[in-house]
Structure formats: C-alpha cells, structure tokens
C-alpha cells in the first residue's frame, strides 16, 4: 500500500458540484441526464448542417432530407437508452440482474454502457435507413460526426457525479474523490472527455470539412469508431476497473472496456481502408 501514500499537496481539490442542476417539484434534473439530452440534440443539429451543405457531397448531391434526421432522432434516442442499459446489464453486472431482474428497469440508479448504446443506435439506424431507402453508412457518417460532443458532456457529468474515477496516482493533477477512498486518483473521466469528446470531434470535423471525406462513404464513421476505441483503450490504463469485474483473465491491467473497444478499432480500420469514393453521377 506504500506506493499509494500520497501527499495532500500533490492533489487538486474535488469541486463538489451538485449532481442535481435544479429541482422542479418532485423532478430532479441531473447533469448526467442533461449531458445525454444535449448530446443527442447537438448531434441532430450538426448532422442537419452536414446534409444541407452541398460542398461536402459528391457533385453537390445531398444524400437525404433534413426531415429524415428529424424523424431519426427518436429512433436514436430509443437505441441509446435501450442499448445502453442492455449493454450494461450484459457486459458489466449480469449476475446481479439475474438475481434481481426488476433492477434492470431501475435506470435512475445508473448503469449505461456506451458500447451497448452504440449497438442500439446501429440497429435502429439500419432499420430506419432501410425504411427510408437511405444508405446506412451515409447515415452513420453524418450522425457520428457530431456524437463526440455528447460523449464529452456525459464524461464531465461522470466527473461531477464522482463516479468512474481513475486509478490511484500521485500526479500533480490527481484528485481525492469523495467516494474514492483515501487515495488521490487520475481524473480519468476528464481524460475521456478530452479524447472521446473534444479531440475526436475536431478530428472528424477536419475529415468532413477539410478532407471532404463524406464523399467517401464509411470513412467518417470508421474514423469515429476507431477513434473512440483507441481513446477508450488508452484511458482504461488510467481508469479504475468496475468493482464487480476487476481486471480480467488473471491480469493486472486488462479491463472489460478494453475488450469491448478492441473490435471497434479493428472495424473502424476496416471501414476506412475499404472505403471508396462515391461514384460521380454521369452527365446527361
């Protein structure tokens, strides 16, 4: 335990921001929920800007109507909630929910998985694109370009909630979380907010507006899932593993987040490598 003896002067104070923004009667509005809502609304607004910008598309041909995204936002929200909750139950705490199945519906107690939410959105996206006859990868490209903003906001909310904190550390910016034991820890939530949020958003913005990669279906979506996977794997080396799981396969470093993110990296690389520019319409 001596390696975790940390001097108080080596840490930053936890800001102690109230997780509840405001109480409206019996309803408590939390930063965490607002992060999800603002993230979904931003991705919707940003995607509408992409599909109406003719410069970003082959021969200026817009791939879908903005109204299609107005309808898809409902599908996306359902996919995020149902997929995120189902993923958490299956990937992170299945024995508990087998013993107490009604707790599956107690979403106010927390417990959402990004990987499950992604699968839920992809399923909804596939069904929606088939119904509207929109190329699935094109829809994935435009939606994923704005998603990192929501990811960053939710990670900041995790920090405010003093949850999903990092491993013990004595780096100068380490923080002693109220429920993190006697150790100062990496603020890994903020690492994720920076990498999965700001950095990934700027990378995708560069690809869509400077490199015009929306003209190459699959590339932007592939960059998103690869970028998220790499960011998550990197931060997992600083993040405390889930208590009910710990480290996996007898190691002192492998986490569930790493296992779930590795296929994302591989799928993203495949999508980018195999992506081909959309064919230009023939002149009449």
pLDDT higher for 281 or 72? 72
For the segment 19-46, the average pLDDT, to the nearest whole number, is 95
Look at residue 194 and tell me if it is in a domain.
yes
Task: Give the mean pLDDT of the chain.
Answer: 93
Helix pair angle (136-144, 114-132), 10° resolution: 130
Look at residue 255 and tell me if it is in a domain.
yes
Look at residue 13 and tell me if it is in a domain.
no
Of 207, 66, 75, the C-alpha closest to 141 is 207
| Poorest-pLDDT segment among 9-18, 108-117, 260-269 | 9-18
pTM beyond cutoff 0.75: yes
Q: Please tell me the total count of domains within the chain.
A: 1
Answer for the pair 263, 222: CB distance below 8 angstroms, yes or no: no
Look at residue 7 and tell me if it is in a domain.
no
Look at residue 97 and tell me if it is in a domain.
yes
For the segment 1-27, the average pLDDT, to the nearest whole number, is 76
- Which pLDDT belongs to residue 111? 87
Look at residue 173 and tell me if it is in a domain.
yes
Look at residue 6 and tell me if it is in a domain.
no
- Which pLDDT belongs to residue 110? 75
Q: What is the span of the domain harbouring residue 27?
A: 21-274
Look at residue 10 and tell me if it is in a domain.
no
Tokens standing for residue 136: 């699935």
């Amino acid at each position: 335990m001596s390696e975790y003896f940390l001097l108080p002067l080596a840490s930053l104070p936890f800001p102690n921001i109230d997780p509840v923004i405001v109480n409206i009667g019996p309803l408590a509005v939390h930063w965490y929920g607002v992060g999800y809502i603002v993230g979904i609304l931003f991705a919707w607004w940003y995607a509408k800007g992409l599909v109406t910008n003719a410069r970003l598309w082959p021969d200026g041909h817009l791939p879908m109507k903005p109204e299609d995204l107005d309808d898809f936002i409902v599908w996306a929200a359902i996919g995020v909630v149902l997929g995120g909750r189902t993923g958490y139950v299956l990937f992170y705490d299945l024995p508990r929910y087998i013993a107490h199945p009604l707790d599956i519906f107690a979403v106010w107690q927390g417990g959402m998985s990004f990987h499950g939410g992604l699968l839920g959105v992809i399923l909804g996206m596939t069904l929606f694109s088939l119904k509207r006859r929109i190329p699935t990868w094109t829809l994935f490209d435009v939606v994923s370009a704005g998603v990192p903003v929501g990811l960053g906001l939710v990670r900041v909310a995790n920090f405010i909630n003093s949850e999903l904190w990092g491993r013990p550390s004595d780096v100068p910016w380490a923080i002693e979380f109220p429920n993190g034991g006697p150790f100062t820890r990496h603020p890994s939530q903020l690492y994720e907010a920076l990498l999965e949020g700001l950095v990934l958003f700027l990378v995708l913005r560069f690809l869509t507006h400077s490199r015009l990669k929306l003209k190459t279906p699959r590339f932007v979506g592939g960059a998103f899932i690869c970028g998220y996977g790499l960011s998550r794997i990197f931060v997992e080396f600083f993040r405390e593993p889930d208590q009910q799981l710990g480290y996996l396969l007898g190691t002192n470093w492998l986490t569930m987040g790493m296992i779930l993110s590795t296929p994302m990296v591989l799928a993203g690389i495949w999508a980018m490598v195999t992506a081909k520019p959309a064919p230009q319409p023939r002149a009449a």
